[in-house]
Amino acid sequence: MNMANAQTLSGVYAAAVTPIHSDGSPDLEGIETLLEYLAKRGCHGVLILGTTGEGPSFSPLERAQIFKAAASARQFHPLLRLFAGTGTPSLDETIHLTRLAFNLGFDGTVVLPPYYFRKVSDDGLFAWFDSLIEQAVPSDGVVLGYHIPPITGIGFSLDLLSRLKDAHPDCFAGIKDSSGDQEFARQLGQRFGNDLFVLTGNDRLFSLALQANASGCITAMANLLSPALRQLWDAHQSGAPYTSLQENLSTARSVLDRYPPMPPLLKALLHTLHNLPLWPVKPPLMPLSEDLIDSISIALESSRS
């Protein structure tokens, strides 16, 4: 990928929750509601069916329905970029979903490594991603590896990233780094400079990542606080100071991190704080109690004052 073109994809992305009905089926009209909300709150783009979007909990058919609904909703917000989470342990399934996302006009895909077998080599991961890109990604397509080893148990070494970038310079753009590892964020900048497209997945590391040549963020908290993330992003672009902005974001993220996992928490807070529908979650995730949500809402609002 030409890095000059990559900069057109830089910015603040929400790792969006996924609206669903009480029976667990996708709420396709809710996807339009959610994208309109995020577009109006400063997001440059949205990741559909990432971790926060409960991606692995949906069947391939449901994923296809959700991708199609998001692509349709984007017609009302043409400047909003869309990334699709397409990674599964199955190479064939990932190829199918990735090809579909590009056929629907998504701007890129964010792909988990095949996370079932955790003790695999870089050679094995390279072969898997090499096959994916060869079979599913158009010449102008953008693929980001999804680095979240606390969840997947495996990740992307710097050498693997370099191999993939060298083998597919026009398609393998870079990485969504959700490791939460400050040193890894620094190493990405030191090793690749501006030659790798990096979006951090950790709100606490947003300013550090930007200073290490990252191109933006894709975070769960952007569902709630995208205006604050956008304010920091804009400050970085203009050269204005943003230490206090980062401190506020880190404090807010500390509140949310006390109540994992994120999807039920964010869905409840979107309802309580922003009047969106109270979308349920898919098992094994469970909803939080109203009393707990009320106390979290108060703590979150206090952290921002």
| Positions marked active-site | 51, 116, 146, 176
Q: If you write DSSP's letter for every residue of 33-84 in order, what string do you get?
A: HHHHHHHTTT-SEEEESSTTTTGGGS-HHHHHHHHHHHHHHGGGSTT-EEEE
Specify whether the CB–CB gap between 297 and 272 falls below 8 A.
Answer: yes
| Alpha-carbon 28 to chain mean position | 20
Q: Specify whether the backbone of 236 is left (phi greater than 0), alpha (psi in -120 to 50) or beta.
A: alpha
Specify whether the CB–CB gap between 90 and 81 falls below 8 A.
Answer: no
Specify whether the CB–CB gap between 196 and 174 falls below 8 A.
Answer: yes
* Burial (Cβ within 10 Å: 0-12, 13-18, ≥19) of residue 12: buried
Give how far Cα 110 sits from Cα of 42, 56, 177, Å.
21, 13, 11
Give how far Cα 82 sits from Cα of 16, 75, 218, Å.
11, 11, 11
- Helix, strand or coil, per DSSP, at residue 124: helix
- Is the preceding omega at residue 227 within 30 degrees of 0, hence cis? no
Neighbour count for residue 127 (Cβ, 10 Å): 13
